[in-house]
Every structure is written in C-alpha cells, then in structure tokens.
Amino acid sequence: MDSKDTEQTASPERPSHSNFSTLIRSGDVYVDKTAIIKTLLESQYDTVLLNRPRRFGKTLLLSTIDHILKGDKAKFESLAIGKSDSKYDWKNSYVIRLDMSEYGKTVKDIDINLSDDLNFIAEQHGFITNRTGGGPILAGLIKRLFVNYKNITIKRDGNEITPDTPFVSVLIDEYDYPFVMNFNNPKALKEIREYFAVFYASLKSVAEKIRLTFITGITRLEEFTSFFGMNRFGDITFDPEYATLCGFTRQEIIDNFNDKLNEAYESLKSDKSLGTLNSTDDMLGVIMDWYDGYSWDGKQKVLNPISVLNFFDSFEFGRYWYDTGSPTFLQELQIKDNDFFSNFSNNSSFRASIIYPDTKRISPESTLLATGYLTVDKAEGGTGKGFVGKTYHLAIPNMEVRISYAQDYLVTKLYPNISLSSKARFLTLATEFCSQLCNINAEDATDSLSSIFAGIPYDYHTQQESFYKSHMNTVLAFARGFLTAEKHAGDGRPDFILETRRQVLVMEVKYVKSNEPCVNDTLDNPSGMPLTGSNHEDADDLDTIDTSCNVNTETHMRQKEPRKWEKIDQFHTLINNGINAAFNQISENNYGLEYLDGTKKVWAVAVSILGRTAVKIEFAEIERRR
C-alpha cells in the first residue's frame, strides 16, 4: 500500500496545492471545508483521528487547520469560519506539524530524520537539545513551549506574533505510513511498532499541555488507539458529521467549478460514447459516474478530488487517482483469492463487521476500504456515530476504480497470455460495446459483442453458457453505472442488471444449441479453420453467405445451394428462439418490476448467442402493467 498523500494535485505538471496559504495566494479554487473544521475544533475532542485514502485532501486539511490554530484570520475572511456570524474564537497558539511519510521506512531512518526535524523546530524557538528519540524530543519541546510561551513568538508569513495561549497543537500527517510500508516485513514491523509505542506514550505524557492532537492516515491501527486516547479521543473516520470533510460533494462541484462544467459540456457534448448530453447537468452526471461514490457513512457521498481536478484540466476521462500508484498487494490478493476481483467487479456488496486492519491481521476487504478501492455502500446497526457495533456493506465506488480493476486484473485473468495489442483491441471493443448498449443501439452493440467473442482465442473457448456470461461479466465492467450479476430481482435472478442515472438495463443471456453439432461447431470455429467429418460438410461457409439479397435472388440461391440455406434458416430460428426465451424469462419473473417506481426507463435486454461469431441483441422497454 502507498499512503503518500500530495493533496489535490492532478499531475506532476499541476502546481502543488497541499499548502493552504499557497492555494489562497494563487487564486485557485479552494473548496470551503471550514464550517466542518469549525465544528471539529469546537467539539469535545482533544485528540482526533481521521482516515482517508491517499491523495484525498488530508494534507491540505492539516495545512488549513494549521493556519486556523495560528489565528491567521485574514486568510479566511471569504470563508465560512472567517465570516462575522461564525463567532469562531481566533486565539492563536503554537503548532507542530509532522509528516511521517517523510522520515523513511526503517526505525533507524525514522529516528534520525524525525529527531533532526524536531531538533530544528526547537532551535527555531531558541531551545538547544542533543536528545535522540522522536518521542522524548517532542515531549520536551512541548513542555518548553508551554512554560515559556510569553517569551516565544509564532512565525506566520514572516511576521512574529505572541501566542494567546500556551497550549500546543500537534498535527501528524500519514501516521501509519511506516506501518503500511512494512506490512509484509514482520521483523521491521515489530521494530516500528515498538518505536512508535514509545513515541505516542511520550506524547500522551504531556497531554495536559496540548490544545489539539490531529492525526491523519489511511487506516486505524488498533494497538495505538490507547496512546491516541489521551482523554477525549475521537475517531471521526466514519462519523456522519465529518463524512464530507475530504473530497468534493455534488453541490461543491456546482458551486466551485461551474465554469469548468460549462467548458466540459461544450467540449464533450457531441461525444456519443458518453451518451446523450443535453446540459451541464448531464455532464455532471457523467463526471459523477466516473469519480463519485466514496462514502464513510453509507449515505453521504463525495467525488475523488484528484480525479475531478485532473478531468477539469484535460476534459478527458481517465484513471487519474488509480494510476498514482496502485499498491502491489492488489496483485498479491488476486493470487491468493481468484474470485476476489471478479466479485467486486460486479459491485457486489460485501458485509464486513471489522473495517480496520491491524498490523497482525490483514483483511483484504478492510485494507481495500482503507486505501480507497472499496467504499461503504451501506451501514447497518450500531447506536453511536462511530463504527463500533455496525455492519458495513462494501462496494467499488465508481467507474474509475471498476474499469481499472477490469483492465489490470480481470482481462489478464481471462487471458493470461494475451498480447498488448490484443488487450488494447479488447479494451476498445468492450468500451464501445458498453456505450452502444447504454445508448440502446442494438445493431452496433451486436456487432461489437460479436467481434469480442470472435477474438477469443480458440483454445480458451468452451460451448457453455457460463463461458459467455463470464466474458460478458468482464466486458460489462467497462459500462457506466452500477452493475450487478445474478442479483435477486422479482421472482428470480437476471444475469445482469446495469443501472445508470437515466435507465435500468435488465439483461438475460441465452446460449442456444443446435441438434446438429455442425451449426455450433461452425460458429465456434475461427474463420479459416478447416472442419472435417460428414456432419461438417460445407459448414465453414455458413457465415459467408449474404442473406440480404432480394426475393428472386434468394429463391435462386436456395435452389442452387439448399443445404447451406437450410443451415441459415436453422441459424435464424435458433438465435431468435434465444431472444424470445430471454424476453419471456425477464417478463415471467418480473425482473424489472422493482425499478418501475422511479423516473428511470427500464429496458429488457435479450442476448442470444449461437457461437463465437453469431450473436443477437434486442431491447424492449418494460412498462408498468395497467
């Protein structure tokens, strides 16, 4: 796992805006979170833990809190906390900020670098110390600042200000970075654990001199909560009151990026792959499909800030957050659990009562939740604001993550030896097919799906319905919207349900077989593959006959080549039988009934497959019965 967090930067070319002062001075957009920060600073907590995935705004949040605690009111005049009706108490005090991701991965490196950093801070305030050990140095520094606060100034933007209060605030970013980077190294992890046990115990020893301890990371390590809990410890990670503290809400996008939304709409409104875009609201809907869905209470959702900012830079949809450094343990998980990514690629909802990993026991679900590859879809039970006693349903948050899973893991899993060019072609066809499907374009969707199946290496192919459904499962992972497979609906389980912001597609797949093996064998056989045996006579020419000729020509051809036309008729009968059987199953089992109460159109989608190059797709709108 990589928890390094360079907040709200879209790419190496984009200026770093993890510093509140720099961001405000540059005139760039700052999405105002200060009303929530004010609530937090005025809460009963004196020690706070907030976990969010990497690159989700944690460092910018700490920088903002730093300026507030130092009483830098002038920078907040246009923000919620700085307005006259806020009535926030702007008393300033010392703030010590530490970033554990900057000190290294080994105890030796951490101790040297952390000690140097703290000794440098002490020297800036006139204290000279030759101590080693981060914890003792930090505790000693806090004691000296507290006792001598009248004689030491706060440096703020080049000015020296006398503090209003002796109490020191400690802000620790990426506290779990050393642990996360050593999860697979038990010996190093033990040393890290012992070192930081001393560090946080030292911090706890001066708790009465601390105004606020604010700690961020990607996950909660249970063995350190006793050290965090100085008196009034609050883990606000899953607290609904702070659910939108990091990330962008839908309304924040509208309020802060309206011009960018208009530009994006004008740039992309003719892009048919995105569906019908009639307004900026439609444009926002596509952005939310791609980057929304993150939740820590199962109700309030936010968009991924790094991906949104990147999109507004380029007006191109891409895997911006995912590509900032997918952890290698994802590949390790795939090896250990072959069904793990397939299950989550359907947005299946996994129940989990333990949502925090610890350094002694790693849960794939909780680890993927902590790192942002899963999110809380729904929370049940419990009585308080925290996570204790609750059961969480976890799911993939959005298209960016789901498509990235599919590209990196599912396609490779299906075709372990696939070439880069073949994989690129598959990804292009899958994306086109999903777009055509969502645009209710039966003809083009049929052609694309036929091409996908035709491209399957022959030695991977089996004449089983489950084979085709497995491949469709991977292909549909590239669709916009919420995909589920074999979900209970009506009186049964449709093969797939794809729910988008405007419509619901209820899909049933039928693989139909001929009583004459030659028909399926022909259509399962790659073009040019010779067939042998009396049952296969002329069968390899079946899909080369033009069936669109006029009546007289067709009559002539039927008389000239009756055997071939007999097979063509059988082909049409069989594939249409599959379409009818799919529609009948959807109708008789009321698969779409539960979706008819809303404003979305509900479509029955019948897919009939007779072989690798013989596919037919039809749509029928499901309407409420009168």
CA atoms of 577 and 573, how far apart (whole Å): 6
262 or 21, which is more confident? 262
Band of residue 611 on the pLDDT scale cut at 50, 70, 90: confident
On whether the CB atoms of residues 247 and 230 are closer than 8 A, the answer is no
On whether the CB atoms of residues 26 and 343 are closer than 8 A, the answer is no
Spell out the SS3 assignment of 290-319: HHCCECCCCCCCEECHHHHHHHHHHCCCCC
Tell me, what's the pLDDT at 115?
93
On whether the CB atoms of residues 406 and 474 are closer than 8 A, the answer is yes
Tell me, what's the pLDDT at 345?
53
Cβ-based neighbours of 125, under 8 Å, separated by 6 or more: 141, 144, 145, 152
Specify the pTM.
Answer: 0.82
On whether the CB atoms of residues 533 and 527 are closer than 8 A, the answer is no
Band of residue 59 on the pLDDT scale cut at 50, 70, 90: very high
Tell me, what's the pLDDT at 226?
63
User: Is the pLDDT score of 15 beyond 80?
Assistant: no
**Rounded to an integer, what is the distance from CA 479 to the centroid of its chain?**
15
The lowest-confidence range among 10-14, 571-575, 610-614 is 10-14
User: Is the pLDDT score of 553 beyond 50?
Assistant: yes
State whether CATH 3.40.50 applies to domain 31-237: yes
What average pLDDT does the segment 527-556 reach? 37
User: Is the pLDDT score of 505 beyond 90?
Assistant: yes
User: Is the pLDDT score of 44 beyond 50?
Assistant: yes
The lowest-confidence range among 117-131, 167-181, 350-364, 434-448 is 350-364
265-274 pLDDT tens trace: 999 999 888 8
Q: Residue 384 forms beta bridges with which residues?
A: none
CB-count burial class (<10 Å; 0-12, 13-18, 19+) for 268: middle
Cβ-based neighbours of 459, under 8 Å, separated by 6 or more: none
The lowest-confidence range among 203-217, 280-294, 416-430 is 416-430
Tell me, what's the pLDDT at 4?
38
286-316 pLDDT tens trace: 999 999 999 999 899 999 999 999 999 999 9
What average pLDDT does the segment 44-61 reach? 93
441-498 pLDDT tens trace: 999 999 999 998 888 777 677 778 888 888 888 899 888 888 888 878 888 889 999 9
Cβ-based neighbours of 13, under 8 Å, separated by 6 or more: none
Tell me, what's the pLDDT at 8?
36
User: Is the pLDDT score of 564 beyond 70?
Assistant: no
User: Is the pLDDT score of 526 beyond 90?
Assistant: no
- 402: nearest Cα among 333, 482, 330, 508: 482
Residue 37 structure tokens? 């920060």
Tell me, what's the pLDDT at 565?
64
CA atoms of 265 and 261, how far apart (whole Å): 6
Q: What is the per-residue burial (b if ≥16 Cβ within 10 Å, else e) of 150-177? A: eebebebeeeeeebeebbbbbbbbbbbb
555 or 93, which is more confident? 93
What is the average pLDDT score of the chain?
81
Band of residue 538 on the pLDDT scale cut at 50, 70, 90: very low
Tell me, what's the pLDDT at 436?
93
329-339 pLDDT tens trace: 565 555 455 55
What average pLDDT does the segment 116-132 reach? 84
What average pLDDT does the segment 501-528 reach? 67
On whether the CB atoms of residues 154 and 81 are closer than 8 A, the answer is no
**H or E segment at 545?**
none
Listed by start position, the domains of the chain span: 31-237, 250-414, 420-622
What average pLDDT does the segment 510-528 reach? 55
CB-count burial class (<10 Å; 0-12, 13-18, 19+) for 136: middle
User: Is the pLDDT score of 530 beyond 50?
Assistant: no
User: Is the pLDDT score of 386 beyond 80?
Assistant: no
